[in-house]
Amino acid sequence: MVAEAGGGVGFRSERGPILIALMLSTGLVAIDSTIVATAVPSIVHDVGGFTSFPWLFSAYLLAQAVCVPVYAKLSDVLGRKPIILGGIALFLLGSILCGVAWSMPALIAFRVLQGLGAGAVQPVAITIAGDIYTLSERAKVQGYLASVWAVSSVVGPTLGGVFSSLGIWRGIFLVNIPLCLLAGWMLVRTFHEKVERTSHRVDYGGAALLTTSLSLIILGALEGGQAWAWNSSISVTVFVVGALLLGAFVFVERRAAEPVLPPWVVSRRLLATTAMISFGVGAVMLGLTSYVPTFLEGALSTSPILAGLALAALTIGWPISASQAGRFYLRIGFRRTAMIGVTLAVLGSAVLALTAHTPNILLVASGCFIVGLGLGLVATPSLIAAQSSVEWNERGVVTGTNLFARSIGSSLGVAVFGAVANAIYGASPGGEADPQAIVAASAAVFLAVLISAVLTVVAVLAMPGSIGNSQAKETEAASKTRSPQD
* Structure confidence by residue, pLDDT tens digits, 437-473: 888 888 999 999 999 999 999 999 999 876 544 444 4
CB 59 within 8 A of CB 108: yes
Name 130's Cβ contacts closer than 8 Å, sequence gap at least 6: 138, 384, 387, 388, 395, 399
140: left (phi over 0), alpha (psi -120 to 50) or beta: alpha
Global model pTM greater than 0.85: no
pLDDT tens-digit series, residues 199-218? 667 677 888 888 888 888 87
> Among candidates 421, 150, 452, 142, which has minimal Cα distance to 294?
421
> Among candidates 180, 183, 186, 195, which has minimal Cα distance to 74?
195
Residue 377 has pLDDT above 50, yes or no: yes
- Identify the three-state secondary structure at position 246: helix
CA distance 141 to 324: 10
Classify residue 169 by its DSSP letter.
Answer: T
pLDDT of the residue at 477:
41
Q: How many residues does the chain have?
A: 486
Classify residue 53 by its DSSP letter.
Answer: T
- The string of DSSP codes covering 347-403 is HHHHHHHHHTTS--HHHHHHHHHHHHHHHHHHHHHHHHHHHHTS-HHHHHHHHHHHH
3-state helix, strand, coil in the chain (%, to 5): 80, 0, 20
pLDDT tens-digit series, residues 103-154? 888 998 999 999 999 999 988 998 898 888 887 788 788 778 878 877 777 7
Residue 482 has pLDDT above 70, yes or no: no
CB 252 within 8 A of CB 213: no
153: left (phi over 0), alpha (psi -120 to 50) or beta: alpha
Question: In terms of pLDDT, which residue wins out, 247 or 295?
Answer: 247
